[in-house]
Amino acid sequence: NAGVTQTPKFRVLKTGQSMTLLCAQDMNHEYMYWYRQDPGMGLRLIHYSVGEGTTAKGEVPDGYNVSRLKKQNFLLGLESAAPSQTSVYFCASRHRDRSFRDTEAFFGQGTRLTVV
């Protein structure tokens, strides 16, 4: 079972460069999320999507854009990378469960991004 797959796993960017992180899930989940993880700050939500073609801002959306053209994919873009965006990025997905029971998130392996 692949679950949630993130590519790439590591990347080094120069300030001002752009890149796209890809998240793919094979569990037919409706909801997908992008988080960044920084020491002492836990996981902070960047953007999320509740279905194909929809996106919404999370806690720290500035400097990032997202797209969800297909249900299984959720892309995170950095148009002009800054050193403050050095972080570990995690994608997650979960079911839209009407009974509010099976709502745990499944995470990818993470992308370690360094902006120099």
Residues binding another protein (CB under 8 A): 31, 33, 35, 40-45, 48, 50, 58, 90, 92, 94, 96, 100-101, 103-105, 107-110
For the CB of residue 65, give the shortest distance to another protein in the complex, in Å.
18
Compare residues 40 and 69 and give the one whose CB is closer to another protein: 40
- For 52, half-sphere exposure in the C-beta direction (CA atoms, 13 angstrom radius) is 9
Compare residues 2 and 100 and give the one whose CB is closer to another protein: 100
For the CB of residue 42, give the shortest distance to another protein in the complex, in Å.
4
Compare residues 8 and 16 and give the one whose CB is closer to another protein: 8
If we measure between CA atoms, which residue out of 40, 23, 30, 46 comes closest to residue 107?
23
Compare residues 68 and 94 and give the one whose CB is closer to another protein: 94
Degrees, nearest 5: CA angle 14-33-113: 20
CA distance 111 to 23: 10
Which tokens belong to 97? 């469960």
CA distance 55 to 63: 15
For the CB of residue 9, give the shortest distance to another protein in the complex, in Å.
11
